[in-house]
């Protein structure tokens, strides 16, 4: 189906001025030459996108790191009422897909497949993972891959509460999607990764991890040399009374937290007992990669069961999010991913 031609008009100065926008307003996707830009043209499923020329490694500028304004702009669009809760196969998630494709295109990620779209074969409505890649700079290590993922779907329309029926899914999982998009923007411009990085936004997670299951199986059939899968889920609000910023699911299965903290040079990742108690390792998009590849596949998260009361409710809106926390998390993950991608040996291992 031919996608609509999307023209993105929102400038950075407008984003700065609209910091208090609510989800009830119609919000255009962010735009601007610095990477806050959505899709500038048609990228229809089944039509080849001209692959961007790989940029040479260059000095990192301060504006390539994340900040509150960038995070706000992305979140205000993905969790806006215009997208109607991003239910898989809906018009709303189609808008989100186009937006994600645009950010990949503007930041010179190559489509991993013929286009950025990976059409799900295991869901009854048209649904797509959006998959881009930043090839590694080292001739040997570029043949090893790291998948960095999050799901961009949510649950759509619910029974109205106080006149609001749209489950906007700001924390679940526009926050994780925003984290991945900002990391994609950074690495798309910095080219500071020796191993290749696949950035994957999954559909139909809420239908039973269908998008990630589809992609994991497909990559396994390709015999992809996959080193790690790192996933981001519900990263929109800070943890409560913890001496670390986030946790990984399946903490005791690998040394991922330990290696993360070494590259972050701080106590960034810790252990949350309730994550194990509630089986979170099996409940997000890391799990299909664990099953298919048996390599360290874990989810970074800041939902600690005490800090957010709107899981799968219409109250999961942008005004509940902490943008300073989110941009800090993204920037703290940059040296971690650089460490994962540039180490001479594969340091993260299952025990």
* 325-329-330 Cα angle (round to 5): 120
CA distance 225 to 143: 7
Residue 301: is its pLDDT beyond 60? yes
Mean pLDDT, rounded, for 84-110: 98
Main-chain phi, psi angles of 82, to 5 degrees: -55, -30
Two tokens, residue 230? 């790192």
pLDDT-derived band at 168 (thresholds 50, 70, 90) equals very high
Q: How far apart are the first and last CA of the chain?
A: 46
Give residue 29's pLDDT. Answer: 57
Please indicate whether residue 314 or residue 57 has the higher confidence score (pLDDT): 314
Mean pLDDT of 127-137: 98
- Region of 250 (left: φ > 0; alpha: ψ -120 to 50; beta: rest) is left
- 52, pLDDT greater than 90: no
As a whole number of angstroms, the distance between CA 351 and CA 346 comes to 14
128-152 average pLDDT score: 98
- Average pLDDT rounded to a whole number, residues 16-43: 40
Percent of the chain surpassing pLDDT 90 = 82
Identify the band that residue 16 occupies on the pLDDT scale cut at 50, 70 and 90: very low
Has residue 41 got a pLDDT over 60?
Answer: no
d(CA 131, CA 123): 18
Percent of the chain with pLDDT over 70: 82
Nearest-angstrom CA–CA distance, 315 and 321: 11
Do residues 130 and 117 lie in contact, with contact meaning Cβ atoms separated by under 8 Å? yes
pTM of the model: 0.87
**Which pLDDT does position 277 carry in this prediction?**
96
Tokens of 285: 């998009």
What pLDDT is stored for residue 48 in this prediction? 41
Residue range 153-172: mean pLDDT, rounded: 96
Q: Each residue of 194-221: pLDDT tens digit?
A: 999 999 999 999 999 999 999 999 999 9
Res 258 pLDDT > 60: yes
| Residue 20 pLDDT greater than 90, yes or no | no
Please say if the pLDDT value at position 40 is more than 90: no
Q: For helices 175-190 and 91-106, give the axis angle rounded to 10 degrees.
A: 20
Confidence at 27, pLDDT banded by 50, 70, 90: low
Scan for tokens 């903490």, then name that residue. Answer: 251
Structure token digits, residue 141 = 């290590």
* pLDDT value of position 63: 56
Looking at every residue in the chain, the average pLDDT score rounds to 87
Pairing, β 246-248 against β 269-270:
parallel
From the list 132, 128, 104, 106, the residue with the least C-alpha distance to 118 is 128
pLDDT above 50: residue 187: yes
CA–CA gap between residue 36 and residue 207 (Å, rounded)? 30
- DSSP, collapsed to helix, strand or coil, labels residue 80 as coil
pLDDT digits (tens, 9 = 90+) for 60-82: 454 579 999 999 999 999 999 99
Measured in whole angstroms, how far is the alpha carbon of residue 326 from the centre of its chain?
Answer: 12
Question: Could you report the per-residue pLDDT of 332-349, keeping only the tens digit for each?
Answer: 999 999 999 999 999 999
**pLDDT at residue 88 tops 60:** yes
């Amino acid at each position: 189906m031919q996608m609509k031609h999307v023209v993105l008009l929102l400038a950075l100065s407008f984003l700065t001025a609209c910091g208090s926008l609510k989800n009830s307003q119609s919000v255009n996707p962010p735009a601007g030459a610095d990477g806050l830009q959505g899709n500038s043209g048609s990228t229809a499923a089944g039509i080849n996108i001209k692959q961007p020329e790989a940029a040479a490694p260059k000095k990192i500028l301060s504006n390539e790191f994340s900040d509150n304004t960038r995070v706000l702009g992305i979140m205000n669009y993905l969790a806006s009422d215009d997208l109607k809760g991003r239910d898989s196969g809906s018009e709303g998630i189609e808008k989100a897909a186009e937006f994600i494709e645009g950010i990949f295109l503007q930041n010179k990620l190559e489509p991993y497949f013929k286009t950025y779209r990976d059409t799900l074969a295991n869901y009854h409505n048209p649904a797509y993972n959006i998959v881009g890649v930043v090839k590694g700079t080292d001739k040997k290590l570029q043949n090893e891959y790291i998948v960095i993922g999050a799901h961009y779907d949510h649950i759509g329309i619910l029974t109205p509460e106080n006149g609001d029926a749209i489950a906007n899914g700001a924390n679940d999982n526009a926050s994780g999607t925003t984290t991945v998009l900002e990391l994609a923007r950074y690495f798309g411009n910095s080219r500071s990764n020796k191993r290749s990085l696949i950035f994957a936004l999954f559909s139909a997670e809420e239908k039973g991890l269908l998008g990630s299951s589809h992609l994991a199986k497909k990559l396994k059939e390709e015999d992809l040399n996959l080193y790690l899968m790192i996933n981001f889920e519900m990263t929109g609000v800070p943890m409560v009374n913890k001496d670390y910023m986030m946790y990984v699911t399946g903490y005791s299965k690998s040394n991922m937290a330990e290696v993360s903290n070494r590259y972050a040079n701080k106590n960034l990742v810790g252990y949350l007992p309730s994550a194990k108690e509630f089986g979170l390792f099996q409940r997000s998009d890391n799990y299909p990669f664990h099953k298919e590849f048996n390599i360290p596949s874990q989810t970074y998260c800041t939902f600690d069961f005490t800090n957010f009361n709107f899981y799968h409710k219409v109250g999961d809106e942008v005004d509940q999010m902490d943008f300073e926390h989110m941009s800090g998390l993204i920037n703290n993950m940059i040296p971690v991913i650089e460490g994962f991608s540039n180490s001479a040996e594969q340091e993260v291992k299952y025990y």
